[in-house]
A and B are shown apart, each in its own frame.
Chain A
Amino acid sequence: MAMDAGIEQHLAAGRHARAFDLVVPAYKDRVFRLAYSILKERAAAEDAAQETFVRVWKALPGFDGRAALGTWIYAITRNTCLMELRRRRPTVSFDDPDSTEAQHAAASIASGPAADPERDNLLRLVDTLPHNQQEAVRLFYLEDRSYETVAEQLGMPLGTVKNLLHRARKRLMELARPDEVKAA
């Protein structure tokens, strides 16, 4: 990534503040979308993105370049989000439809701009997927259907992401009512 090359030049020269000034605009949207795919709440995702960049700012002088900068930043994002989930509920079960996350998701659906029963039902079905599949599905469509970006952000091999998405879609096709997902 050309932007990363510029950032890494500043880092190599010890200009951490200037490097950070480039990191934020380059990564803030993707960090936010990754956080949103995990936390499923806009405000919580934005808080997590803020926290992520504070951590990046603190840790940037120690960044040794062994991993790609993006990989490192996304790992910090995922850890920040997981800590937030643990803080909310220490023994959260990601696959429990009654979990706080599922309730938050239902609330966000209910407070959506327009009532659309089919859309709401599909989102509820997404919430019934295993957590890693939910993350992959949300991120995939947030990131304009880029498998590579999702793989980088989730820290998974490309094949794993494709399999996760495939299982998620099959499950959704099975769960959807015949009148919801039917051939035209």
Chain B
Amino acid sequence: MNDPTLIGPCTDYEHDLVDLHDGTLAPDRARVVRRHLEACPRCRDWQAKFAILETRLAAALPRPGLSPTFDAKLQQRLAALVRPPVRSDLRATLEREHDSLIDSLRRGARRHAILGALGSAAVMLCALAAVRGLLAQGAGLVPSVADGPERWLMLGIVGVAMAVAALGWSAGRNGVPTLGMLR
């Protein structure tokens, strides 16, 4: 219970006495409080008891510290939380990259195949037109080839030879075009 003798004007000084003890009281106020202390036995007693209590509390209250394994335990707990999402994220990222690479390769292969086929057709048509012109000019020199079914057979052989050459060239560069049908 509160001591009735502690109720009164002196209680106004208690906060000041604490601040004086802590060394945080303003100098002007500190002078006033010291003057009061000289004249007031009750406040001197309070101040002395307070100082003893402070010392005893500071000495008595436990001051535990963290264990040395705190950081390691925390890392373990966090790793248990982190690992699954990181793994799944990594797998998802790799799968996305893989799919993107496959799509890109398929698109490239299609483009290559179409361009290769068009190029081959154009070369064949040009070559056929050139051979036909040569044959027409030299009809007199090779009459037996220029006329009749042999003429078409020869044109066919030349065409097939050119197509084989075009496919060989294509295979040498990027493989046989498959129009992206093979993975």
Contacts and interface: CB of A to CB of B under 8 A. Distances in A.
Interface of A: 24, 28-29, 32, 36, 42, 45-46, 49-50, 53-54, 57-58, 108, 112, 116, 118-119, 122-123, 126, 137-138, 141-142, 145, 162, 166, 169-170, 172-174, 176, 180-184
A166 B70 contact: no
6 contacts: A28-B70, A42-B64, A46-B70, A169-B54, A170-B14, A174-B3
A116 B62 CA distance: 13
A123 B64 CA distance: 15
A177 to B, nearest CB: 12
Interface of B: 1-3, 14-15, 18, 22, 45-46, 48-50, 52-54, 56-67, 70-71, 73-74, 77-78, 81
A122 B61 CA distance: 9
A142 B66 CA distance: 13
Contacts of B52: 181-184
A29 B65 CA distance: 7
Which of B56, B60, B77, B78: most chain A Cβ within 10 A? B60
Given A28-B70, A123-B60, A162 B78 contact: no
B60 A183 contact: no
Given A42-B64, A173-B53, A181-B56, A50 B77 contact: yes
Contact of B22 (A49, A119, A145): A145
Nearest to A37: B61
Contacts of B66: 28-29, 32, 46, 49
Top 7 closest pairs, chain A to chain B, by CB: A183-B48, A42-B64, A119-B60, A141-B61, A122-B60, A32-B66, A181-B49
Given A32-B66, A122-B60, A126-B61, A184 B48 contact: yes
Contacts of B81: 54, 57-58
B71 A24 contact: yes
Contact of B64 (A36, A118, A176): A36
Contact of B70 (A50, A112, A162): A50
A121 to B, nearest CB: 9
B57 A173 contact: no
Contact of B18 (A46, A108, A166): A166
B60 A24 contact: no
Given A29-B66, A166-B14, A181 B61 contact: no
B14 to A, nearest CB: 7
